């Protein structure tokens, strides 16, 4: 019998990447639209891959996977490629794609919360519920008010990336991030 890790290494890497991006956003606010577009593209790519991997794991273990995780993963990967390949187009992409990414990613995470509560417990459930509801509100606010996105993007992104990174780290250290 093969021993497997009970630690979520992918979630840990994504969490560290997102926290690093969040901290960098606080210290370099003038570079938010152009300088960080490439790095945010990598973050979107990483979280998209994470959502797709989650879908595949659940499909393998349960016989079906949460379709919202797959859709969110595909949207995140698409947004990541656009931002990484065309960083100069980042200003319009940030205004349009990041709100959609926030909304899709938060819906995906909210859809899997009942399973997360069962596996990881109430503390993770409540924290993830709050973070993802805030992310949904933020996504819709940025979608309906592009001016909000442009004027306060550095603070919004920094705070949300920090919270999302902490959420991923929490997932890595609970049973939900375990590979079984």
How far is residue 38's CA from residue 36's CA, in Å, rounded to a whole number? 5
Q: Locate 92 and state its tokens.
A: 């319009």
Q: Alpha carbon of 41 to those of 82, 101, 117: distances in Å?
A: 7, 11, 30
Question: Which is nearest to 36 in space by CA: 52, 51, 18?
Answer: 18
* DSSP per position, 4-32: ---S-HHHHHHHHHHHHHHHHHHH-GGGT
Q: Residue 133's pLDDT band (boundaries 50, 70, 90)?
A: very high
pLDDT in tens, 116-127: 777 777 888 888
pLDDT in tens, 41-91: 888 888 888 888 888 888 777 766 677 788 888 888 888 888 778 776 666
pTM score over 0.75: no
């Amino acid at each position: 019998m093969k021993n497997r890790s009970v630690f979520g290494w992918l979630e840990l890497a994504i969490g560290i990447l997102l926290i690093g991006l969040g901290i960098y956003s606080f210290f370099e606010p003038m570079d938010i639209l152009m300088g960080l577009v490439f790095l945010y593209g990598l973050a979107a790519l990483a979280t998209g891959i994470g959502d797709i991997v989650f879908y595949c794991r659940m499909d393998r273990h349960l016989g079906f996977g949460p379709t919202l995780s797959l859709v969110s993963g595909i949207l995140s990967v698409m947004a990541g490629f656009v931002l990484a390949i065309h960083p100069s187009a980042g200003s319009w992409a940030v205004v349009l794609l990041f709100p959609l990414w926030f909304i899709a990613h938060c819906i995906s995470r909210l859809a899997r919360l009942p399973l997360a509560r069962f596996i990881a417990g109430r503390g993770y459930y409540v924290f993830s519920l709050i973070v993802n509801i805030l992310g949904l509100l933020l996504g819709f606010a940025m979608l309906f008010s592009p001016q909000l996105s442009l004027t306060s993007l550095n603070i919004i992104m920094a705070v949300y990336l920090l919270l999302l990174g902490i959420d991923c780290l929490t997932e890595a250290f609970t049973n939900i991030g375990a590979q079984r």
